[in-house]
Amino acid sequence: MSAPAAWPYPFWIAHRGAGRLAPENTLAAFALGRAYGYRMFECDARLSADGEVFLLHDDRLERTTDGRGEAVEQAWAALARLDAGAWHDPRHAGERLPMLAQVLAFCREHDCMLNVEIKPAPGDEVRTGRRVARVLALERFATPPLLSSFSPAAIAAASAVAPALPRGLLLETFRAGWRDDAGALGCVAVIAECAAWTPETAAQAAAAGLRRLAYTVNDDAEAERLRALGLDGLITDQVDHFRP
């Protein structure tokens, strides 16, 4: 097997912008993560009812905004008015849900990189993958975003629209068929829950020519264990502790 291509991404990646230190998936979080020295961020991209791509982790709005209900059932005009900051801290009251295009502009301005997780609502995998890829395909990047998803269908749909973008398969466990899926989707990486990485799974991924990343790594012992396995990147909430 030939040597894998050079890996352009930093080892430490800030989860949802700044982990838990700011309202997740907001521009305030990206600014704070950058202030701590991070140059790559993980974020969650999903769709409004009218097909706009914006950042939100959950299917529903209640946890991280003052809205209610399923995000995919609401038009962007309504979502754009929600407060996505006050739940975290009164200092962030009035922070809005950002569109993916706004986050790309931030990263372009500050020379940062992204891991964009395609986060489809149930049954909306293909539409979400296509729309996220179309937004990214409009941009020019010094280093292209790493696209990822737990949904093979979403990754396949994104690949059909923007085949040049690097792709990573997200896994909670190393389920049966994961290597076949990663190969069929043309993935360059597998991004697994940190406890799922063992010497055996790390060796299997390496043998498949895949880069290896872990989420969400928040303590020193786990970080050192994963470093010893030779992983290529760790996604963390602890941006004030792990300094890139």
Indicate if 92 belongs to the active site: no
How high does pLDDT run on average in the chain?
97
Of the residues 15, 88, 92, 241, only one is catalytic, namely 15
Q: Which residues pair with 146 in a beta bridge?
A: 115
Domains, the chain, in order of start with CATH, read 12-59+98-236 (3.20.20.190)
pLDDT bucket at 83, cuts 50 / 70 / 90: very high
Between vectors from CA 85 to CA 79 and to CA 88, what angle results, nearest 5°?
135
Collapsing DSSP states into helix, strand and coil, what is residue 240?
coil
DSSP string, 141-195: -SS--EEEES-HHHHHHHHHH-TTS-EEEEESS--TTHHHHHHHTT-SEEEEEGG
Percent of the chain with pLDDT over 70: 98
Indicate if 15 belongs to the active site: yes
| Residue found under tokens 């940190």 | 194
Of the residues 57, 88, 110, 241, only one is catalytic, namely 57
Residue-wise burial string across 133-160, b where 16 or more C-beta atoms lie within 10 A, e elsewhere: bebbeeeeeebbbbbbbbbbbbbbbbbe
In tens, the pLDDT along 101-158 reads 999 999 999 999 999 999 999 999 999 999 999 999 999 899 999 999 999 999 999 9
